[in-house]
């Protein structure tokens, strides 16, 4: 049994939630989100909280109901607080700038990389070497951060590239004579 799945998801004040069949809809100050729960998992709203339970005693149902509870908890957190990822750019001449609805990255290529900002995501560039990605959907914020990082992942010798702010780059020693 999942320890995560056993806990009910409390609905914060200022948030309205509804369960319609297998669809959970959550609306709050930062927007509205919905999640469709797998058929092996049952969802019910009771006493101002959403409870998740496996429908069958199968391995798949046991695996999915903890994940479903975590996804629903992310919906509630997203419409109340939102999610944020920070990226850092390291390297001589590497920088980022926001131009209208696109992010322009100079990452050592012969041309600048232009990344269009998706709908529902906010990108801020407080310094030319820092990027802040914010939004209410955890999956989309993480996906945008991963796509930007993929343009120039950090390399282990000098640490140049785009990395998460909390990421540790294991450094390697170079060649010796």
The predicted-structure confidence for 5-33, as pLDDT tens digits, reads as follows 888 888 988 889 888 888 999 999 988 99
Three-state DSSP class for residue 25: strand
The pLDDT mean for the chain works out to 91
Q: How far is it between the farthest Cα atoms of the chain?
A: 70
Other Cβ atoms within 10 Å of 116 Cβ, number: 9
Strand partners, 121: 135
Q: Tell me: the pLDDT tens digits for 130-165?
A: 999 999 999 999 999 999 999 999 999 998 999 999
CA angle 73/79/80 to nearest 5° reads 90
Tell me the DSSP string of 58-108: SHHHHHHHHHHHHHHHHHHHHHHT-EEEEEEEESTT-EEEEETTEEEEE-S
Picking from 56, 37, 42, 45, the residue whose alpha carbon sits closest to that of residue 16 is 45
Task: Scan for tokens 């992010």, then name that residue.
Answer: 103
The pLDDT of residue 6: 83
> What is the model's pLDDT at position 96?
95
Domains (range + CATH), the chain = 3-80 (3.90.930.12), 83-164 (3.90.930.12)
């Amino acid at each position: 049994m999942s320890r995560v799945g056993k806990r009910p998801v409390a609905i914060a004040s200022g948030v309205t939630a509804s369960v319609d069949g297998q669809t959970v809809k959550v609306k709050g100050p930062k927007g509205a989100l919905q999640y469709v729960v797998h058929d092996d998992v049952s969802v019910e709203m009771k006493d101002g909280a959403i409870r998740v339970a496996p429908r069958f005693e199968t391995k798949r149902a046991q695996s999915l109901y903890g994940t479903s509870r975590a996804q629903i908890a992310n919906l509630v957190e997203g419409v109340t607080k939102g999610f944020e990822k920070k990226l850092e750019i390291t390297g001589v001449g590497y920088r980022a700038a926001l131009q209208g609805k696109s992010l322009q990255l100079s990452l050592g290529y012969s041309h600048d990389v232009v990344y269009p900002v998706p709908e529902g995501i906010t990108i801020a560039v407080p310094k030319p070497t820092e990027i802040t990605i914010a939004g209410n959907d955890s999956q989309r914020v993480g996906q945008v951060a991963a796509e930007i990082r993929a343009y120039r992942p950090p390399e282990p010798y000098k640490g140049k590239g785009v990395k998460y702010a909390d990421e540790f780059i294991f450094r390697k020693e170079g060649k010796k004579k």
